[in-house]
Structure 1
Amino acid sequence: MTVLLRDALLADHEAIVALNAAEVRHTSAMDRPRLGELAALAGRHRVAIVDGRVAAFLLAMLDHVAYANDNYAWFAARYERFVYVDRVVVGADWQGRRLGSLLYEDLFAWASAQAIPCVVCEFNLVPPNEPSRAFHARHGFAEVGRQWLGAKQVSMQLAVPG
């Protein structure tokens, strides 16, 4: 299997929205207009291409952008410089093939080259998202806080690139 990592293109948006919709129970809903808004704010928006298809994507925001998101705001209130992983999604047909790990390795290398001191994200504790917890633990993330958003509790995570 040959994997190509590259910046996401407008032509990828339909596939990205479809991947996100298939995994919406682990992330938040995103239609094409919302993806356009998020992509415009993103500091890093990458896709993994396998057999000519978008198989996975990562969308991340840098610090100090006008992103109205409670989790992003939590990190912005506590850290001066960071890159916030808004979502990383791997299509069901491609799970277990290290695509998420490749996207994270790519993000960590980029953050290190940009002298960004931390990569931050969150995952659900209530309802639990055990695959995300295990994935992030493998990539060196540690909990730095928790917060409730309505009926959902999230674990705020931080990792140091490099």
Structure 2
Amino acid sequence: MSVRPLADSDFDWVLALSARHERETGKLDAEKLRAMRDASYQTTVIDGQGGYLITFDQDGAYDSPNFLWFKERYPQFAYVDRIVVDPNVRKAGHARALYEHLFERARRDGHSLVACEVNVDPPNPGSDAFHARMGFEEVGWALLGNAKTVRYLTRGL
């Protein structure tokens, strides 16, 4: 499987996939996707429409409360804002491939930490299990203004 940067030609399928997972990841439209991609550390996809990953580093111009939580506490990091894998190809290594690609680039760029959050309420047990397998550890919690509760996780590189 091939991981590559998000292209304009990917927008339709990324937005369709995102719409099916809005509860876990939040609403995404073309304007927001373009802005996120342009401000991101990296935005990657799996060829064949298998999934996508959007990340920011500590210098990203991004106002997500979860990103800002990490920015207040860590001088350097790569932050996973969202990862979505098509349910039809889950358990085939797509999420792992997206993360491994991120880890490789982050190491090369001198990062020593990858950060993310996982919903506690509403629960996301699949994401919890995946991040545990990938070596992430809890570093905090937050109750967000939208009534979501999240766990903050990091993994050293």
TM-score bracket for the superposition, by shorter chain length: over 0.9
Q: Residues of 1 paired with 2:28 and 2:115: CA distance?
A: 20
- Superposition misfits of 4+ residues, deviation over 2 angstroms: none
TM-score (norm 2): 0.96
Counterpart residue number, 1:14: 12
Distance 2:2 2:103 in 1: 17
The 2-side partners of 1:25 and 1:126 are apart by: 11
Alignment equivalent of 2:26, drawn from 28, 33, 50: 28
**What RMSD over aligned residues (CA atoms) do the two structures have, in Å?**
0.9
Output the CA distance in 2 between the equivalents of 1:115 and 1:66. 19
Say how many residue pairs are matched: 156
Counting aligned pairs with the same residue, the percent is 35
Unaligned runs of 5+ in 1: none
- Give the deviation of 1:127 after TM superposition: 1.6
Task: Report Cα offsets for 1:2-50 as digits up to 9, x if no partner.
Answer: x11111111111111111111112111101111011011111111101x
Deviation at 1:144, TM superposition (A): 0.4
1:130 maps to 125
1:82-121 equivalence runs, <5 A? 82-121=77-116
Question: For residues 55 and 66 of structure 1, what CA distance do their matches in structure 2 show?
Answer: 27
> Which secondary structure does the structure 2 equivalent of 1:80 belong to?
coil
Which amino acid in structure 2 is aligned with residue 33 of structure 1? E
- Which of residues 130, 143, 148 is equivalent to 1:148? 143
Shift of 1:126: 1.3
Superposed displacement of residue 73, structure 1: 0.4
- Give the Cα–Cα distance (whole angstroms) in 1 for the partners of residues 89 and 63 of structure 2: 31
The structure in which a higher percent of residues are helix is 2
